Amino acid sequence: MKARHRRFMWIALGLLVIGVAVTLVLRAFNSNLVFFFTPSQVAENKAPVDRTFRIGGLVTAGSVKRQPDGLTVTFDVTDTAKTIPVTYTGILPDLFKEGKGVVAQGKIGQDGVFRAAEVLAKHDENYMPPEAAEALKNAGKSIDGSMFAGQKAVPTQAPKPN
Amino acid sequence: MSLFKYSSPTAFYPLAGKLVPWFAALAAIFAVIGLYLGLFVAPEDFQQGEVYRIIFIHVPAAWMAMVIYLAMAMYGVMALTFNTRLSAMMMEALAPTGAIFTALALWTGALWGKPTWGTYWAWDARMTSTLILLFLYIGYLALINAIEDKKRADKAGALLVIVGSVNVPIIYFSVKWWNTLHQGASVSVTASPKMAAIMLWAMLIMAIACWTYAITISLVRVRAIILERERGRSHSTRVANTLSATNIVAGS
């Protein structure tokens, strides 16, 4: 084996070791790396209690209600399996819409209502002119299917029958 | 050995000089076409309106940030295994461009984030790992400039870049592995693009413009580095003498 082959082997081996180490670290910190929890994860008590965290999901169509004070908004966040009611006082982002993705930061109360301190719109990766979107809608096709792309990283284990 | 001919700085210097105007011209042409398609021809987006046009610079810049880093890591492996002087010089030439593209991606992303998400910055996996990439670039540049002995500086820099390369797949796959605020990939090798054709074309042409710009500027920079480092060797002295006659090279 020539000296340069040996050097290359050391570099490759080093990279492999670092790669494995980083993978293990990332797996260990998996729950800290997710930006938000889905309503299903909250229902499974995977979200922190008495601590600020973020929930993410789609705003349920028809659930957005403005309170008389004009600033407080209530809406439901759903991942199509579970739903969490959210209340928020403040200005909503422009892309906040019913049926679209949203990420809210706050605490969940005893009553199960999520009190958000900050609401962000989560945008999807679809780009098209308005006419194309209209055509898709008329054809009955969904254009927002990407909200939970990251969910695979946090496998939800099905309860085993005893 | 003809393949390795250009691994010698002396042989590469004139070749790089010949390539620069071609790549510069390509970069200018593609940038003009890409910007025209992106800003005038492509229609507005059905959700974001005009704001989405940031992707014509944001996405190519983010791609370049990752591609340039991988190129540097590749040169790093070559520098450590073959001990080729030119590989280390290429790393040094690429780093500032990579850092600028990373900063550009973060900056345009922030400007886009405010009107769409409602915030300039969020500590989600995609953004945080991209910020780490920027620190890696800056860290590399600081490291090689902090060590006086060029040979040792090159080795330390190459090692840092190779180790840091584990961050690139993390950036790329972060939106797949974890819940992030940043949306998933609109364009990927495995799935059909989730964009209207004209928007996609404008973005791809801008990406080519960024590629050719990066090649141009790093060739220009590597020529300067060759002159600076090979000072005293016969070829470099000859070139430097011709140049200093016209007052282009200062301090040589």
Confidence of residue A155 (pLDDT cuts 50, 70, 90): very low
The pLDDT value given to residue A151: 40
The pLDDT value given to residue A153: 33
CA separation for the pair B35, B202 (Å, rounded): 7
Tokens of residue B210, six digits: 């960024």
pLDDT at A146 over 60: no
Q: Quick check: B178 and A30 CB within 8 A?
A: yes
Q: Is B145 on the interface with A (CB under 8 A)?
A: no
Residues comprising chain A, all counted: 162
The pLDDT value given to residue B238: 64
Number of domains in chain B: 1
Write out the H or E segment, with its range, that includes residue A88.
strand A83-89
The pLDDT value given to residue B249: 45
Range of the domain at B62: 18-42+50-245
Q: Is A117 on the interface with B (CB under 8 A)?
A: no
Which residues on chain A are in Cβ contact (under 8 Å) with B79? none
Residue B247: DSSP 8-state: T
CA separation for the pair B101, B95 (Å, rounded): 10
Q: In this structure, what CATH number is given to the domain that contains residue B97?
A: 1.20.120
Name the residue with higher pLDDT: B126 or A156: B126
CA separation for the pair B101, B57 (Å, rounded): 10
The pLDDT value given to residue A141: 58
* Residues 57-116 of chain A whose Cβ lies under 8 A from any Cβ of chain B: 92-96, 100, 103
Shortest distance, CA B122 to any CA of chain A (angstroms): 9
pLDDT along chain B (252 residues), means of 10: 73 92 96 94 82 91 96 94 91 96 96 88 91 96 93 94 94 86 79 82 95 96 92 65 55 43
Select A35-149's CATH number: 3.40.50.1100, 2.40.50.140, 2.60.120.10, 3.40.30.120: 2.40.50.140
Query: Residue A81: CB partners within 8 Å, gap ≥ 6?
Result: A39, A40
CA separation for the pair B219, B20 (Å, rounded): 7
Q: Which residue has the tokens 């990251």?
A: A150
Confidence of residue A150 (pLDDT cuts 50, 70, 90): very low
pTM score above 0.90: no
Tokens of residue A107, six digits: 């605490």
Establish if B252 belongs to a structural domain.
no
Strand stretches in A4-80, DSSP E = 53-59, 65-66, 72-78
Chain-centre distance for alpha carbon B41: 27
Q: Quick check: A7 and B115 CB within 8 A?
A: no
CA separation for the pair B112, B56 (Å, rounded): 12
Instruction: Compute and round to an integer the Cα radius of gyration of chain A.
Output: 21
Q: Which residue has the tokens 């922190």?
A: A48
**A98-133 confidence digits (pLDDT tens):** 888 889 988 888 888 898 888 988 877 777 777 777
Mean pLDDT of A29-46: 82
For residue A114, how many other CB atoms are within 10 A of its CB?
24
Q: Where does residue A19 fall: left (phi above 0), alpha (psi -120 to 50 degrees), or beta otherwise?
A: alpha
The pLDDT value given to residue A93: 84
Q: Quick check: B125 and A130 CB within 8 A?
A: no
Q: What are the domain boundaries of chain A?
A: 1-33, 35-149
